[in-house]
Homo-oligomer: A and B are copies of this chain.
Amino acid sequence: MNLRKLFAEHLSSWIMEMGPEGDVVLSSRVRLARNLKGYKFPSIASQEELAKVLSAVEKFITKSERELKLLRLGGLDALSRQELVEKYLISPEHAKDSPSKGVALDAKGEISVMVNEEDHLRLQVIKPGLAIEDAYKIANKVDDEFESALDYAFSSQFGYLTACPTNVGTGMRASVMLHLPGIVSLGQIERVATACSKLGLVVRGLYGEGTASKGNIFQISNQLSLGFSEQEILSHLHSVSQQIIEEERKSRQRLYEENKIEFEDQIYRAYGVLMYARRMDSSEALELLSRLKLGIDLGVVKDLEPVILKELVVAIRPAILQKIVGLTLEPGERDQKRAEIIRERLSQSN
Protein backbone atom coordinates (compact mmCIF):
# COMPACT_ATOMS: atom_id res chain seq x y z
CA MET A 1 0.00 0.00 0.00
CA ASN A 2 1.19 3.50 -0.79
CA LEU A 3 -0.38 5.06 2.27
CA ARG A 4 0.80 8.59 1.62
CA LYS A 5 -1.16 8.53 -1.61
CA LEU A 6 -4.20 6.77 -0.13
CA PHE A 7 -4.28 9.17 2.81
CA ALA A 8 -4.02 12.17 0.49
CA GLU A 9 -6.98 10.83 -1.48
CA HIS A 10 -9.16 10.08 1.53
CA LEU A 11 -8.29 12.64 4.19
CA SER A 12 -9.24 16.32 4.38
CA SER A 13 -6.56 18.96 3.98
CA TRP A 14 -6.76 20.04 7.63
CA ILE A 15 -5.73 16.52 8.63
CA MET A 16 -2.71 16.43 6.31
CA GLU A 17 -1.30 19.79 7.41
CA MET A 18 0.03 20.90 10.80
CA GLY A 19 -1.09 24.56 10.91
CA PRO A 20 -0.09 27.15 13.57
CA GLU A 21 0.74 25.83 17.08
CA GLY A 22 0.40 22.35 15.61
CA ASP A 23 2.31 20.79 18.51
CA VAL A 24 -0.79 21.32 20.66
CA VAL A 25 -3.67 22.41 18.41
CA LEU A 26 -4.90 19.81 15.92
CA SER A 27 -7.63 21.91 14.30
CA SER A 28 -9.92 24.92 14.55
CA ARG A 29 -13.54 24.81 13.55
CA VAL A 30 -16.31 27.37 13.08
CA ARG A 31 -19.93 26.34 12.60
CA LEU A 32 -22.85 28.63 11.73
CA ALA A 33 -26.48 27.60 12.26
CA ARG A 34 -28.93 29.12 9.79
CA ASN A 35 -32.59 28.59 8.92
CA LEU A 36 -34.70 29.58 5.93
CA LYS A 37 -37.59 31.94 6.43
CA GLY A 38 -41.03 30.48 5.70
CA TYR A 39 -40.09 26.87 6.54
CA LYS A 40 -40.59 25.07 9.87
CA PHE A 41 -37.48 23.92 11.77
CA PRO A 42 -36.51 20.38 10.62
CA SER A 43 -37.70 18.61 13.79
CA ILE A 44 -41.29 19.74 13.21
CA ALA A 45 -41.31 20.10 9.43
CA SER A 46 -43.03 17.61 7.08
CA GLN A 47 -40.93 15.54 4.68
CA GLU A 48 -42.41 17.60 1.88
CA GLU A 49 -41.23 20.83 3.44
CA LEU A 50 -37.74 19.39 4.09
CA ALA A 51 -37.55 18.27 0.47
CA LYS A 52 -38.27 21.83 -0.59
CA VAL A 53 -35.46 23.16 1.62
CA LEU A 54 -33.05 20.63 0.15
CA SER A 55 -34.11 21.55 -3.40
CA ALA A 56 -33.68 25.26 -2.71
CA VAL A 57 -30.14 24.63 -1.42
CA GLU A 58 -29.37 22.36 -4.34
CA LYS A 59 -30.57 24.96 -6.81
CA PHE A 60 -28.35 27.61 -5.26
CA ILE A 61 -25.29 25.31 -5.17
CA THR A 62 -25.71 24.35 -8.81
CA LYS A 63 -25.67 28.01 -9.86
CA SER A 64 -23.01 29.13 -7.38
CA GLU A 65 -19.42 29.75 -8.49
CA ARG A 66 -18.10 28.07 -5.33
CA GLU A 67 -17.48 24.47 -6.16
CA LEU A 68 -19.53 22.56 -3.65
CA LYS A 69 -20.96 19.11 -4.23
CA LEU A 70 -24.29 18.19 -2.69
CA LEU A 71 -24.67 14.63 -1.41
CA ARG A 72 -28.13 13.34 -0.52
CA LEU A 73 -27.60 11.15 2.54
CA GLY A 74 -30.49 8.88 1.55
CA GLY A 75 -28.46 7.88 -1.49
CA LEU A 76 -25.41 6.80 0.52
CA ASP A 77 -24.85 3.42 2.18
CA ALA A 78 -24.32 3.23 5.96
CA LEU A 79 -20.52 2.92 5.63
CA SER A 80 -20.24 6.08 3.53
CA ARG A 81 -22.42 8.02 5.95
CA GLN A 82 -20.31 6.78 8.86
CA GLU A 83 -17.18 7.87 6.97
CA LEU A 84 -18.55 11.43 6.80
CA VAL A 85 -19.16 11.35 10.57
CA GLU A 86 -15.63 10.12 11.27
CA LYS A 87 -14.23 12.92 9.09
CA TYR A 88 -16.19 15.49 11.13
CA LEU A 89 -18.11 16.51 7.99
CA ILE A 90 -21.55 15.56 9.36
CA SER A 91 -22.87 14.89 12.86
CA PRO A 92 -23.75 11.36 14.05
CA GLU A 93 -27.40 12.52 14.22
CA HIS A 94 -27.27 13.62 10.58
CA ALA A 95 -26.00 10.21 9.48
CA LYS A 96 -29.27 8.55 10.45
CA ASP A 97 -31.33 7.67 7.40
CA SER A 98 -33.72 10.28 6.07
CA PRO A 99 -34.79 11.08 2.49
CA SER A 100 -34.35 14.84 2.79
CA LYS A 101 -30.99 15.21 4.50
CA GLY A 102 -28.00 16.40 2.54
CA VAL A 103 -24.50 17.72 2.89
CA ALA A 104 -22.60 20.06 0.59
CA LEU A 105 -18.83 19.57 0.55
CA ASP A 106 -15.84 21.23 -1.07
CA ALA A 107 -13.05 19.14 -2.59
CA LYS A 108 -10.56 19.73 0.26
CA GLY A 109 -12.90 18.63 3.04
CA GLU A 110 -12.57 22.09 4.57
CA ILE A 111 -16.15 23.29 4.07
CA SER A 112 -19.28 21.30 4.82
CA VAL A 113 -22.90 22.46 4.88
CA MET A 114 -25.35 20.04 6.48
CA VAL A 115 -28.88 20.51 5.17
CA ASN A 116 -31.84 19.63 7.41
CA GLU A 117 -29.88 18.66 10.48
CA GLU A 118 -31.22 20.36 13.63
CA ASP A 119 -31.32 23.58 11.59
CA HIS A 120 -31.91 23.92 7.87
CA LEU A 121 -28.25 24.80 7.37
CA ARG A 122 -25.20 24.01 9.46
CA LEU A 123 -22.23 25.57 7.73
CA GLN A 124 -18.84 24.42 8.99
CA VAL A 125 -15.23 25.25 8.16
CA ILE A 126 -12.22 23.34 9.61
CA LYS A 127 -8.62 24.55 9.41
CA PRO A 128 -5.42 22.88 10.68
CA GLY A 129 -3.82 24.21 13.88
CA LEU A 130 -4.88 27.35 15.74
CA ALA A 131 -6.72 29.25 13.00
CA ILE A 132 -10.13 30.16 14.41
CA GLU A 133 -10.07 33.56 12.73
CA ASP A 134 -9.21 32.06 9.32
CA ALA A 135 -11.92 29.44 9.65
CA TYR A 136 -14.42 32.16 10.51
CA LYS A 137 -13.43 34.31 7.53
CA ILE A 138 -14.13 31.47 5.12
CA ALA A 139 -17.34 30.50 6.93
CA ASN A 140 -18.49 34.11 6.83
CA LYS A 141 -17.82 34.35 3.12
CA VAL A 142 -19.68 31.14 2.28
CA ASP A 143 -22.50 32.27 4.59
CA ASP A 144 -22.77 35.58 2.66
CA GLU A 145 -23.00 33.66 -0.60
CA PHE A 146 -25.81 31.49 0.75
CA GLU A 147 -27.57 34.50 2.21
CA SER A 148 -27.47 36.31 -1.13
CA ALA A 149 -29.65 33.57 -2.64
CA LEU A 150 -31.60 32.16 0.32
CA ASP A 151 -33.82 34.08 2.69
CA TYR A 152 -32.53 33.51 6.27
CA ALA A 153 -34.75 33.58 9.38
CA PHE A 154 -33.36 36.57 11.26
CA SER A 155 -34.68 38.72 14.11
CA SER A 156 -33.33 42.19 14.69
CA GLN A 157 -33.73 41.53 18.43
CA PHE A 158 -32.30 37.99 18.73
CA GLY A 159 -30.17 37.69 15.60
CA TYR A 160 -30.21 34.41 13.64
CA LEU A 161 -33.11 32.19 14.73
CA THR A 162 -32.26 28.56 15.45
CA ALA A 163 -34.07 25.40 16.47
CA CYS A 164 -32.29 25.25 19.82
CA PRO A 165 -32.20 28.46 21.91
CA THR A 166 -28.53 27.91 22.79
CA ASN A 167 -27.65 28.69 19.16
CA VAL A 168 -29.73 31.83 18.77
CA GLY A 169 -27.88 35.10 18.13
CA THR A 170 -24.72 34.66 16.12
CA GLY A 171 -25.68 31.04 15.45
CA MET A 172 -21.98 30.42 15.81
CA ARG A 173 -20.05 27.70 17.55
CA ALA A 174 -16.24 27.99 17.36
CA SER A 175 -14.00 25.21 18.65
CA VAL A 176 -10.41 24.06 18.81
CA MET A 177 -9.19 20.48 19.10
CA LEU A 178 -6.23 20.23 21.47
CA HIS A 179 -3.73 17.48 22.29
CA LEU A 180 -3.07 17.80 26.03
CA PRO A 181 -0.97 14.83 27.22
CA GLY A 182 1.13 17.04 29.52
CA ILE A 183 -1.81 18.59 31.37
CA VAL A 184 -3.49 15.18 31.65
CA SER A 185 -0.30 13.51 32.96
CA LEU A 186 0.09 16.13 35.66
CA GLY A 187 -3.54 15.60 36.72
CA GLN A 188 -4.53 19.15 35.77
CA ILE A 189 -7.22 18.55 33.14
CA GLU A 190 -10.13 18.85 35.60
CA ARG A 191 -8.82 22.20 36.79
CA VAL A 192 -8.44 23.43 33.20
CA ALA A 193 -11.97 22.28 32.33
CA THR A 194 -13.42 24.02 35.39
CA ALA A 195 -11.55 27.22 34.55
CA CYS A 196 -12.83 27.06 30.95
CA SER A 197 -16.37 26.59 32.21
CA LYS A 198 -16.10 29.75 34.33
CA LEU A 199 -14.92 31.55 31.19
CA GLY A 200 -18.00 30.44 29.25
CA LEU A 201 -16.24 27.64 27.36
CA VAL A 202 -17.00 23.91 27.25
CA VAL A 203 -14.38 21.13 27.23
CA ARG A 204 -15.32 17.82 25.60
CA GLY A 205 -13.53 14.59 24.68
CA LEU A 206 -12.45 13.59 21.19
CA TYR A 207 -15.81 12.39 19.94
CA GLY A 208 -17.81 15.38 21.17
CA GLU A 209 -20.42 15.90 23.81
CA GLY A 210 -20.85 13.27 26.51
CA THR A 211 -17.85 11.16 25.55
CA ALA A 212 -14.69 10.65 27.56
CA SER A 213 -11.39 11.81 26.16
CA LYS A 214 -9.28 9.34 24.24
CA GLY A 215 -5.69 9.90 23.30
CA ASN A 216 -5.62 13.07 25.44
CA ILE A 217 -7.53 14.95 22.74
CA PHE A 218 -10.07 17.57 23.80
CA GLN A 219 -12.40 20.03 22.09
CA ILE A 220 -12.98 23.45 23.57
CA SER A 221 -15.84 25.58 22.30
CA ASN A 222 -17.95 28.60 23.22
CA GLN A 223 -21.01 27.89 25.37
CA LEU A 224 -23.05 30.94 24.36
CA SER A 225 -23.81 32.35 20.94
CA LEU A 226 -26.03 35.20 22.14
CA GLY A 227 -24.95 38.49 23.72
CA PHE A 228 -21.53 38.62 22.13
CA SER A 229 -20.38 39.54 18.64
CA GLU A 230 -18.68 36.93 16.48
CA GLN A 231 -15.39 38.77 16.97
CA GLU A 232 -15.72 38.70 20.74
CA ILE A 233 -16.41 34.97 20.77
CA LEU A 234 -13.51 34.22 18.42
CA SER A 235 -10.93 36.33 20.21
CA HIS A 236 -12.00 34.99 23.61
CA LEU A 237 -11.60 31.38 22.46
CA HIS A 238 -8.29 32.28 20.81
CA SER A 239 -6.82 33.86 23.93
CA VAL A 240 -7.96 31.07 26.26
CA SER A 241 -6.52 28.55 23.80
CA GLN A 242 -3.18 30.33 23.88
CA GLN A 243 -3.08 30.12 27.66
CA ILE A 244 -3.82 26.40 27.54
CA ILE A 245 -1.15 25.93 24.85
CA GLU A 246 1.41 27.63 27.11
CA GLU A 247 0.42 25.49 30.10
CA GLU A 248 0.56 22.34 27.98
CA ARG A 249 4.06 23.18 26.70
CA LYS A 250 5.32 23.88 30.22
CA SER A 251 3.76 20.65 31.50
CA ARG A 252 5.48 18.62 28.78
CA GLN A 253 8.82 20.23 29.49
CA ARG A 254 8.43 19.60 33.21
CA LEU A 255 7.52 15.94 32.70
CA TYR A 256 10.46 15.49 30.37
CA GLU A 257 12.99 17.15 32.66
CA GLU A 258 11.79 15.41 35.80
CA ASN A 259 12.86 12.04 34.43
CA LYS A 260 14.28 12.09 30.90
CA ILE A 261 15.07 8.40 30.75
CA GLU A 262 11.66 7.27 31.95
CA PHE A 263 9.99 9.74 29.61
CA GLU A 264 12.00 8.64 26.58
CA ASP A 265 11.52 4.98 27.48
CA GLN A 266 7.74 5.36 27.59
CA ILE A 267 7.68 7.17 24.27
CA TYR A 268 9.92 4.66 22.54
CA ARG A 269 7.98 1.70 23.95
CA ALA A 270 4.81 3.19 22.46
CA TYR A 271 6.70 3.64 19.17
CA GLY A 272 7.89 0.02 19.32
CA VAL A 273 4.43 -1.42 19.91
CA LEU A 274 2.95 0.73 17.13
CA MET A 275 5.70 -0.47 14.77
CA TYR A 276 5.34 -4.17 15.60
CA ALA A 277 1.83 -5.07 16.89
CA ARG A 278 -0.25 -7.34 14.65
CA ARG A 279 -3.63 -6.15 15.90
CA MET A 280 -4.77 -3.09 17.79
CA ASP A 281 -8.09 -1.63 18.85
CA SER A 282 -8.87 2.09 18.48
CA SER A 283 -8.43 2.96 22.16
CA GLU A 284 -4.96 1.51 22.43
CA ALA A 285 -3.94 3.05 19.11
CA LEU A 286 -5.07 6.52 20.25
CA GLU A 287 -3.23 6.16 23.53
CA LEU A 288 0.03 5.05 21.91
CA LEU A 289 -0.20 7.58 19.09
CA SER A 290 -0.73 10.32 21.67
CA ARG A 291 2.47 9.28 23.45
CA LEU A 292 4.39 9.09 20.18
CA LYS A 293 3.19 12.54 19.07
CA LEU A 294 4.37 13.93 22.41
CA GLY A 295 7.79 12.44 21.70
CA ILE A 296 7.89 13.93 18.21
CA ASP A 297 6.82 17.37 19.45
CA LEU A 298 9.50 17.38 22.16
CA GLY A 299 12.18 16.31 19.71
CA VAL A 300 12.76 12.95 21.41
CA VAL A 301 11.70 11.08 18.27
CA LYS A 302 13.30 12.78 15.29
CA ASP A 303 12.59 10.48 12.37
CA LEU A 304 8.81 10.93 12.08
CA GLU A 305 6.68 13.72 10.62
CA PRO A 306 4.64 15.42 13.34
CA VAL A 307 1.48 15.35 11.23
CA ILE A 308 1.38 11.57 11.50
CA LEU A 309 -0.70 11.55 14.68
CA LYS A 310 -3.51 13.56 13.10
CA GLU A 311 -3.48 11.43 9.96
CA LEU A 312 -3.56 8.19 11.86
CA VAL A 313 -6.06 9.25 14.54
CA VAL A 314 -8.50 9.85 11.70
CA ALA A 315 -7.40 7.09 9.31
CA ILE A 316 -7.78 4.25 11.83
CA ARG A 317 -11.46 4.92 12.52
CA PRO A 318 -13.64 2.01 11.46
CA ALA A 319 -15.37 3.43 8.37
CA ILE A 320 -12.45 5.53 7.06
CA LEU A 321 -10.15 2.52 7.55
CA GLN A 322 -12.42 0.37 5.38
CA LYS A 323 -12.71 3.09 2.75
CA ILE A 324 -8.93 3.55 2.59
CA VAL A 325 -8.22 -0.17 2.13
CA GLY A 326 -11.29 -0.65 -0.06
CA LEU A 327 -12.60 -3.63 1.93
CA THR A 328 -15.55 -4.42 4.19
CA LEU A 329 -14.08 -5.73 7.42
CA GLU A 330 -15.35 -7.39 10.61
CA PRO A 331 -14.17 -5.79 13.89
CA GLY A 332 -11.43 -8.43 14.40
CA GLU A 333 -10.17 -7.90 10.86
CA ARG A 334 -10.23 -4.14 11.41
CA ASP A 335 -7.93 -4.51 14.42
CA GLN A 336 -5.45 -6.33 12.20
CA LYS A 337 -5.76 -3.86 9.34
CA ARG A 338 -5.45 -0.96 11.77
CA ALA A 339 -2.16 -2.36 13.10
CA GLU A 340 -0.96 -2.89 9.53
CA ILE A 341 -1.81 0.65 8.44
CA ILE A 342 -0.09 2.16 11.47
CA ARG A 343 3.05 0.07 10.87
CA GLU A 344 3.19 0.94 7.21
CA ARG A 345 2.47 4.63 7.62
CA LEU A 346 5.14 4.97 10.31
CA SER A 347 7.61 3.08 8.11
CA GLN A 348 6.88 5.39 5.18
CA SER A 349 7.45 8.50 7.27
CA ASN A 350 10.77 9.50 5.80
Q: Which of A65-73, A101-109, A265-273, A317-325 contacts B (4 or more CB under 8 A)?
A: A265-273
A276 proximity list for chain B (CB < 8 A): 268-269, 271-273, 275
CA gap between A265 and B342 in the complex, in Å: 14
The smallest beta-carbon distance between A194 and chain B, in angstroms, is: 36
A80 at the B interface (CB under 8 A)? no
Say whether, besides A261-B336, A336-B261, A277 and B268 are in contact (CB < 8 Å): yes
Within 8 A of B (CB), among A269-317: 269, 271-279
CA gap between A276 and B274 in the complex, in Å: 10
**When each residue 326-342 of chain A gets 1 if its CB lies under 8 Å from chain B and 0 otherwise, what string results?**
00000010001001000
Option from B262, B264, B269, B278 in Cβ contact (under 8 Å) with A268: B278
Of chain B, the residue at the smallest CB distance from A260 is: B278
Q: Are B265 and A269 in contact (CB under 8 A)?
A: no
A268 proximity list for chain B (CB < 8 A): 276-278
A261 proximity list for chain B (CB < 8 A): 278-279, 332, 336
Of A277, A278, A332, A339, chain B has the most CB atoms within 10 Å of the CB of A278
CA gap between A95 and B133 in the complex, in Å: 73
The smallest beta-carbon distance between A261 and chain B, in angstroms, is: 6
Of chain B, the residue at the smallest CB distance from A262 is: B279
B-binding residues in A (CB < 8 A)? 261-262, 264-265, 268-269, 271-279, 332, 336, 339
What are the 10 closest A-B residue pairs judged by CB atoms, nearest first?
Answer: A272-B276, A272-B272, A265-B278, A268-B276, A264-B278, A272-B273, A265-B279, A268-B278, A271-B276, A269-B277
Known pairs A262-B279, A269-B276, A275-B276; list 4 more (Cβ under 8 Å): A261-B278, A265-B339, A268-B278, A272-B272
Q: Can you list 5 A-B contacts with CB-CB less than 8 angstroms, sorted by A residue number?
A: A264-B278, A265-B278, A265-B339, A269-B276, A272-B276
